[in-house]
Each structure stands twice: as C-alpha cells, then as structure tokens.
Structure 1
Amino acid sequence: MKCKTESREKILTTAALLFQIKGFNATGLNEILTESGSPKGSLYYYFPNGKEELAIEAIQLSSKSIQKKLKTSLDKYPSPIEAIQFAIKNIMEDLKKGNKLKDISISLIALETYLSSEPLREACKEVFQILEGMYAKKLIESGISKKVAQELGILIQLMIEGAITISLTQKNATPLLIVSNHINLLLSPYLNTK
C-alpha cells in the first residue's frame, strides 16, 4: 500500500513541478511518467480521468506549498509592510536560484488554461483567492477594516503576480523590488489611521 501511495505522490509531485515551470500544454504525460520514474499504466490507474484530473490535484498541491511559504513569511513580522516585503524578498531569492516558478506561482497554468478548461480555471481561481485572503487576513490583524483589507489583498496579489511575470520575462528581479519598495506607500495611510 505504501508503495502505491509513494508512486502516486511521485507522479503528482512531478506533475506539479512541470506544470508550474513548463505549463500544462508543454508538459506531456510521458514526460511526467519518465521524470517520476513511474510505470506507464500507473498514471491512469491513479488519475483515471487523465491529464486534467492530474492537473487539478497538482494545482492543489502547488497551492499548499505556496500557501505554506507565504504563511511563514507573513508570520515572521507583526508589521504587514515588513511581512509582505519579506515574502517578496523570498520570491526574488527563489527566482534568482533558477528562474523557475516552483512553489511561487501558478500563473502559467492559469493563463494557458482559463479558456480551455473550466475545472482548471476554477482550481487556479481558488488558489488566487486563497492568497488574496492571506494578505487580507494579515492586514485585518493590523487593524485595517475587512472591506479595505480584502481590496488591498487583491491589489497586493495582482502586483506580486504581475511582477513575477515581468521579472521572469526580463530575467531580473527589478519589478519585484519595485513592488516591495512601494508596499510601504500603499499600506502606510491605512495603518497610520487606526
């Protein structure tokens, strides 16, 4: 039983990584099997509905990793400004290590599947909403009203996701650094009025 679970986990972990860094369409099932070291029949045994089912579970697995990293960053500092800047710094360091999206973003799979697969679009939407909610929660804990914190959570998520995309495209972290530098300007007016 443990062997079966390990095989399924290998396939899922490999798929999550490949979908994050190569995208859904550029990742073939044979590549997932080869990279995971799994036998050919195992993919449809564990994921009988095919690649889309595998991708949904891979998105959920990636989401857990991204959430864990973000929570660790946000919990490091009581100040939301310092915490969010720390989270951005960690993203910048991860990108410098290899310019890959592993456990940083699901943007690639979201962008390429939003028109072609409603279940994948929904899975990605859920991830983005969870991350927005994590930023909003940090802001609420700092005394910002729920409505404003929710809007700012969306804005922060938009800025960071956009900066990740542009940083990857330009092959430098300057866009993320700019977002980090401006978090203070964005949040200070709300934090100083409490």
Structure 2
Amino acid sequence: MLDATQELVEAGGYHGAGLNQVIAASGAPRGSLYFHFPGGKDQLVGESVRRAGRTIGDALEDLADSSVSVAEFADAVLRHLGDRLEESGWRKGCPVATVALETAATNDPLQEVCSEVYTSWEEALRVRLVGRPDADDLAVVILALVEGALLLARTHRSKEPLERVARQIGVLLS
C-alpha cells in the first residue's frame, strides 16, 4: 500500500492518491487499509511521504559520506534526482513538494510530516557544510535551489535546469 501510495502521490499529489486508486494499485483489500492506517488517507499519505523522504535522505547521506567537495556533492545529488526523474518518465520529482504545496496551509499533520522531511534534508546538507559560518543559510538555499530545479526539470521534461543549478551551486560555494 505504501509503494502504491508513494507512486500515486509523486505522480499526482495528495489529491491524485485517492483511497480507491491506492487499493486498485496495491491490490490490497479495503479492510487492510483501515486496519494498518486507522487515520485514513492522511496517515497513509504521511507515511508514504516519510518513507520517500527517508529514501532521498539515505541517498543524501550516502553521498555525504564520500570525500568529494560540497559542490561535487551537490552536483551528485542533482544528477541522482535528475536520473530518477527522467527514468520515471518525468513523474517522480520531489516526493514531498506536491503534498506540501497542496496541504501545508490546511492540513497540520501532513504539514508537519513535510516539514520533518525537509528538515532532515537540510541537516544532511548542513553536515556537508560543517565549518562554514553560513552553513545553516546555505543548506536552506541549496535545498531551495534543488526544489526549484526539480520543478523546472519536471515541467520542461529536461535535466537542463538541474545541470544549471549544479553549476551555480558550485559558483556559490567557491
């Protein structure tokens, strides 16, 4: 159910992941949905966003453990996300952004989940920027650049915005 929800959420956002679609895509019986997710759709979507966030966060941490420079790290992250986006037929952008945009103003539990995931990603970036006096600000700026580049890449169906942002992050960090 979480796999199906994650696929539906990434492709169509919160509103594109109706319970009937989740049940159809997962093949799970309706009763299982409410048994495992008594909080209904919000709990199911929240868990899928957390799960997707951990997947991206794990990739960030794997890249952060390497000995490359921060600019090379950002470039590797953007290439990873761009490859993921292209391989999905431009359907898998950020697993958090669409839900955040659709629900942050009206759904406190989902807003909190989205904020939690973004905070964890900021921390992964901050770890790579350790020792810089502007590490906190740079982590937010880099995340914002990545999010914007993902949106543009998905919209244009091109990795070019990600490549441009990678170059500019290199300039910013030099």
- TM-score normalised to structure 1 length: 0.84
CA distance in 2 between partners of 1:92 and 1:36 (Å): 26
Query: Equivalent of 2:35, from 28, 41, 45?
Result: 45
Q: What does the per-residue CA deviation read over 1:164-187, in whole Å, with 9 as the maximum and x for residues that have no partner?
A: 001111111111111101111111
CA distance in 1 between partners of 2:27 and 2:66 (Å): 38
Is structure 2 residue 143 aligned with structure 1 residue 152?
no
- Tell me which structure has the larger Cα radius of gyration: 1
Query: Given that residues 149 and 161 in structure 2 are in contact (C-alpha distance below 8 angstroms), is that contact kept between their aligned partners in structure 1?
Result: yes
Identity value in percent: 31
**RCO higher in structure (CA 8 A, sep ≥6):** 2
CA distance in 2 between partners of 1:122 and 1:93 (Å): 28
Alignment match, 1:117: 107
Alignment match, 1:8: none
Alignment match, 2:50: 60
Q: What does the per-residue CA deviation read over 1:46-84, in whole Å, with 9 as the maximum and x for residues that have no partner?
A: 111210111111111111111011222232333111111
Alignment match, 2:164: 178
Superposed displacement of residue 36, structure 1: 0.9
Is structure 2 residue 101 aligned with structure 1 residue 101?
no
Alignment match, 2:67: 77
CA distance in 1 between partners of 2:27 and 2:48 (Å): 17
Instruction: Give the counterpart letter for 1:173 in structure 2.
Output: K
4+ residue runs of structure 1 moved beyond 3 angstroms? none
Q: What does the per-residue CA deviation read over 1:85-108, in whole Å, with 9 as the maximum and x for residues that have no partner?
A: 111111111122121226x43111
CA distance in 1 between partners of 2:26 and 2:38 (Å): 18
Query: Given that residues 49 and 95 in structure 2 are in contact (C-alpha distance below 8 angstroms), is that contact kept between their aligned partners in structure 1?
Result: no
Query: Given that residues 5 and 48 in structure 2 are in contact (C-alpha distance below 8 angstroms), is that contact kept between their aligned partners in structure 1?
Result: yes
Give the secondary structure class of the aligned counterpart of 1:78: coil
Give the secondary structure class of the aligned counterpart of 1:19: helix
CA distance in 2 between partners of 1:177 and 1:78 (Å): 18
Structure 2 segments unaligned to the other structure (5+ residues): none
Structure 1 segments unaligned to the other structure (5+ residues): 1-10, 189-194
Aligned residues: 173
